[in-house]
Amino acid sequence: MKIGIQQMSKFMIVIFGGSGDLTKRKLIPALFTLFKKGTLENDFFILGVGRTSYTDATYRSYIEKEMETYIKKDPADASITKEFLAHLFYLSMDPAAKELYGGLATHIDTLTGEKETNNILYYLATPPSLYGLIPLYLQSVHLNREGTRIIIEKPFGSNLAECVALNKTYASVFHENQIYRIDHYLGKETVQDILAFRFANSIFEPIWNRNYIDYVEITAVENIGIELRGAFYDSVGALRDMVQNHLIQLVALAAMEPPAIFDAHYFRDEIVKVYASLVPLQEEDFNEHIIRGQYTASKDAKGYREEQHVDPESRTETFIAMKLAINNWRWQGVPFFIRTGKQMPTKVSEIVIHFKQTPHSLFNCGPHKCQTANTLIIRIQPNEGIIFKIGVKEPGSNFTIKQVDMDFSYNQIKETPITDAYSKLIEDCIHGNPTLFTRSDAVEASWCFFNPIVNYWEKHPDSPLHGYPAGTWGPLESELLVVDHDAKWTNPCKNLTDSDKYCEL
């Protein structure tokens, strides 16, 4: 059953954590974009719910001020902003207090002027500790009505047991088609373009396998630390924050089989198949196939343990690199190297497909080491686009081969700006399209792979944790991870305005 705002006259978005960081940085800008676009064209209400004390008027003033920071200024938006703000309301309440949910139900019906409003989207922009409570509290006052939907941020559980328990809780309150486990990476245009690139171009399918691909490399790193997220991050770490959700999703998109039909059911079936095909790591492999790191002080940058709200003796990883294997016909013997980290030299997310070398080298490569293997770089952010490295003959009398780039950038499509990930996903949820959201069996399948790793670290707190100076490409031990395969990490330069430049270590 698809549910959309077009089918009902009044539509309510309830944001738990309405005064929090995610709301002002991502959700309000996304909803404003949808308002400008006309998606929220009917009679709609946005209700922020949080412990901070605001009235409707003071909340609108707060949001208006924050919009100046997080939304690109456009003089033409002044009147539109006022119209948008008129749809904002606020209810001061503690989302952890079950006894207050009756007041929430009354407040929703009062705002809409309807009895038992059921066209409601709940967004949980709260600490994960509330993910298992809020749906039960909504159910206790019959706010889990037919037609309601709920979006839950990651991480969906901190281990397999919590994930399974959460899934059972949500299944007892909502139907699966009402539950939207969000991973904003899947909302990025360039992530979705992986599918278009693979399945809309017939020339790549015959070579997208173990016969032609040597290894796959996936990187998602940032050039900042944890900022003000110390308390949260120190309890989560890089594996839970990035690998178990974002990076493994990118692995699945790069490795999946083409779905029979591009819809939510078939597409998400193929995602689950990839997760089920991951070769489980044994305890004796953990230290060889997984490199954990934590950034240390360097120049003007603090070390992780010096960050606010971080344990001075913390062993939480801010960097992780892993070697994964997929046990199926297409990918047998092809390693997938993934890495993520804080305080890297630059911010970049990309998938790099390394094709095999030609079986016989016919040509001279000049004074430099031969780089004859083709490389395909799918840049997710920034400078979104695709780079295909190919060998061509250099001008001159000698037959010398040089690698050049076939380079496409989304900036070249001037008339169609890239859609914000949160806008895309919230719009899909409004229209009842779950394709780019994670299904219950997928999140459990992912945790089945990562859970032994988490358990091992908890049982062995002295597991290797390598330091790396802030502003570098992580611990040197991460290089040993790829050496056995005669591979190396692709390190983009700090200056990403020139997207075809990559730095050697």
* pLDDT the model gives residue 228: 80
Residues in the chain: 505
Whether the predicted pLDDT of 1 surpasses 50: no
Q: Which residues of the chain are in CATH 3.40.50.720 domains?
A: 5-153
What's the chain's average pLDDT? 88
Q: What is the pLDDT of residue 107?
A: 95
Q: Indicate if the alpha-carbon torsion angle 416, 251, 354, 202 is positive or negative.
A: negative
- Give the global pTM: 0.89
Share of the chain above pLDDT 90, in %: 63
Catalytic positions are 246
Query: For residue range 189-241, what is the model confidence (pLDDT) as tens digits?
Result: 888 888 888 898 898 889 999 999 999 999 999 999 988 888 889 989 999 99
Residue 141: how many other CB atoms lie within 10 Å = 15
Looking at the chain, the whole-number percentage of residues with pLDDT higher than 70 is: 91
Surface-to-core class of residue 38, CB atoms within 10 Å of its CB (0-12 exposed, 13-18 middle, 19+ buried) = exposed
Least confident of 5-9, 274-278, 310-314: 5-9
Residue 221 and residue 380 in contact, taking contact as beta carbons nearer than 8 Å: no
Q: How much is the pLDDT for 101?
A: 97
Please name the fold of domain 5-153.
Answer: Rossmann fold (3.40.50)
pLDDT tens-digit series, residues 243-256: 999 999 999 999 99
pLDDT digits (tens, 9 = 90+) for 402-429: 777 788 887 777 666 667 889 999 999 9
Comparing CA positions, the residue from 389, 386, 395 lying closest to residue 373 is 389
pLDDT over 80 at 301, yes or no: yes
Closest residue by Cα to residue 294 from 467, 471, 472: 467
Residues 6+ apart with CB under 8 A from 36: 77, 80
- Topology, domain 186-354+439-503: Dihydrodipicolinate Reductase; domain 2 (3.30.360)
Query: Comparing 133-142, 376-385, 394-403, which segment has the lowest mean pLDDT?
Result: 394-403
44-83 as b/e, with b when 16 or more CB fall inside 10 Å? bbbbbbbeeebebeebbebbeebbeeeeeeeeeeeeebee
CATH 3.30.360.10 in the chain is located at: 186-354+439-503
